[in-house]
Structure 1
């Protein structure tokens, strides 16, 4: 008696954004905003500045940093996309000028990936019948990037601007609400660093406490250094 093997079923699934779009920019912006302004507040406060001066410095750092982050992200992602476009055009010209050589190159790439020689030849010939498919395959195989999945410069810029602003605002909150105590501001910055690190761990295999403590240590090192410098300059100036 024979039994039919159960038919395999395809199940839909999704993957996280790994193309360097909004996620990388958002995480970078939040961490940079928290570390930068927490350290800035620590340095100015360590130098003995008045609460009003601390708020002014922190707000200036927030605005300047958020704009700088947004412009930097836009420019870097735009440049990356333009470089990819240039490489795609270069590969397109190669396919037009030397189709035989590019076909042999695809056969070699398939064989390296474990496809038998005869089958690799058949598959490569079939795929090269469509120039667009052939171009995409060569670009992905040679550059490791898919031209159809380019990150958006605008998305990266907006993400970094918003998250930097949010992160940079946390150490200023006590002063804005009338609590003119440096340790409270640093505590807010520390809590924000732990929270941001814990949230970012949702997209990685790291446990939340590890990611949170790692960011707290990075922020503490930066704040400690600027506090010491601020205290030294403040004492000297006095």
Structure 2
């Protein structure tokens, strides 16, 4: 596994011109990754595709691992914006209605550049040891915890933090598999309500009454 410090971007762009250049570099990185895969990706090819010099690229990204980390972070932020756009809209369907919105938001997020998402997931080892996407995860966790706190009469799990973490992980795991690795004999219209049922059953089951 690469040294995490070597796979981080060197600096953040500050001026509008440098922001535009970094955006162009990341767009080119995504294209090259989709066309050639990680093995065929190089800083030289990315720089050429982005229309910048390799020296300009190296000002921000020391190697292709750092490009991959930046792509992962950007994709996580795009997914988070997709989720927030749905979850921040007013809702009045009770706990189950909120779970429906959460699952639909996750579905929409996973449909953002699904091919790129698959490739980034395949390169997961390169993200170990860095904080790519951690801030996004924390924001979503806090949002779900607030959502559950708004329905104290329905949520039976005694630990709200655990319930929020489980809700987030169940949603992520089930939706991720449904979108990126769908079963050949099922369609999303069948899977989505089943995911809602599973999460709702977990949240409304009072584990303190187990024998």
Larger radius of gyration: 1
Q: Same fold (TM over 0.5)?
A: no
TM-score (norm 1): 0.26
From the two aligned structures, give the one with the greater helix fraction. 1
Higher relative contact order (CA closer than 8 Å, sequence separation 6+):
1
